[in-house]
Amino acid sequence: MSPMLEVRDLVVSYGKIKAVKGISFSVDEGEVVSLIGTNGAGKTTTLRTISGLLRPTSGSIRFQGKRIDSVAAHEIVTLGLAHSPEGRRIFPRLTVEQNLLLGAFARRDNDVRTDLQAAYDLFPILGERKSQAAGTFSGGEQQMLAMGRAMMSRPKLLMLDEPSMGLSPLMMKTVMSTVTTLQEQGTTILLVEQNAQAALKRATKGYVLEVGQIVLSGSGRELLESDDVRKAYLGED
C-alpha cells in the first residue's frame, strides 16, 4: 500500500535562502509521525508547504496517491488534510464556537453539529465556554481550540505544529494525550515538535530535521534511545 503522505526530495526556499534542502519522508495511514528539530530547522516551512501555503522549489508531495504540490490550500483541506498552525492563530474576537465553525468552511455537507459535539467531547472546556471570546482563553485552551478547529474539516491526516509550545506540564499532558485519542479514533497525525521527548514517546516513526535536512530517522522508540537524540534534544550528557 502506498503511504498516505509521501514527501520526496522537497526543497523550499525564501528568496535565495533554502530553508528545506531536499527532504523525503512518508506517513502511513494510522501512524503518528513526529518531525523534531530545533528552532529554524525547517519544520514549520515543511508543514506550510504540505498545506499549500508555500510552494516548493522542487520535489513532490503526494497525499493518498495524488500530487498536491500545486493544489490550492483550500482544496487540500477538502481532500482531507488539516493543519493546526504554530502559534494557534485563533480569532480572538470570535467566540469559541465561531472559531470551530470556521474549521468546517470547506465542508460541503450540513452535518457540522455532529462535529461540534465531537470537538466538545474531545475538549469539554470548549463546550463549557462556547460563547466566550476565544481571545480570553489561556495558551493551553487556545491550543485545544486550534486542534478542535482543525478536526472540524474531518481530516484523514492532521498536521500539528508545536502543540506543546508554551504550555504548563499539566496542559501539555492533556494536549499530547489527545494526540493518542485522535489516533485511536482513526486520524493519522504528523506532529512537529521541539519537545522531542513528548513527540517521540507517541510516535510510530520519527525524523530529526537539522538546518533543512533529515539527519536521523527511525521508530519513536529507536530515536528516544539514540545517543545523538538524547544528547542534542533531551539535554543528556
Among left, alpha and beta (phi > 0; psi -120 to 50; other), residue 181 is alpha
| Residue given cell 510510530 in the structure block | 204
| Window of 35-43, 149-157, 168-176, 216-224 that interacts with ligand ATP by CB under 6 A | 35-43
Interactions with ligand ATP, residue window 44-63 (CB under 6 A): 44-45
Q: Which is nearer to ligand ATP, 31 or 193 (CB)?
A: 193
Contact track, ligand ATP, 118-157, x by CB under 6 A: ----------------------------------------
Nearer to ligand ATP, 41 or 104 (CB): 41
Q: Which is nearer to ligand ATP, 49 or 142 (CB)?
A: 49
CA-closest candidate to residue 10, choices 46, 59, 52: 59
Scanning the structure block, which residue is given the C-alpha cell 503518528? Answer: 32
| Nearer to ligand ATP (CB atom), residue 39 or residue 131 | 39
* Alpha-helix residue ranges (DSSP H) falling in the chain: 43-50, 73-79, 96-102, 112-122, 124-128, 139-151, 169-184, 196-201, 220-225, 227-233
Q: From the list 43, 88, 149, 154, which residue makes contact with ligand ATP (rule: CB under 6 A)?
A: 43
Q: Parallel, antiparallel, or unpaired: how do β-strands 5-14 and 17-27 relate?
A: antiparallel
User: Is 220:206 a contact under the CB 8 Å cutoff?
Assistant: yes
> If binding is defined by CB under 6 A, does position 39 make contact with ligand ATP?
yes
Q: Would you say how long the chain is, in residues?
A: 237
For residue 48, the minimal CB distance to ligand ATP (Å) is 8
* Closest distance to ligand ATP from the beta carbon of 127 (Å): 31
8 A C-beta contact, residue 200 and residue 216 = no
- Residue 172-201 contact track with ligand ATP, rule CB under 6 A, x = bound: ----------------------x-------
- How many residues bind ligand ATP (CB under 6 A)? The answer is 13
From the list 32-40, 118-126, 141-149, 169-177, the region that binds ligand ATP by CB under 6 A is 32-40
19 binds ligand ATP (CB under 6 A): yes
State the cell numbers at 211: 538546518
Q: Which of 13, 50, 24 is nearest to 160 (CA)?
A: 50
Residue ranges that bind ligand ATP, judged by CB under 6 A: 14, 17, 19, 37, 39-45, 86, 194
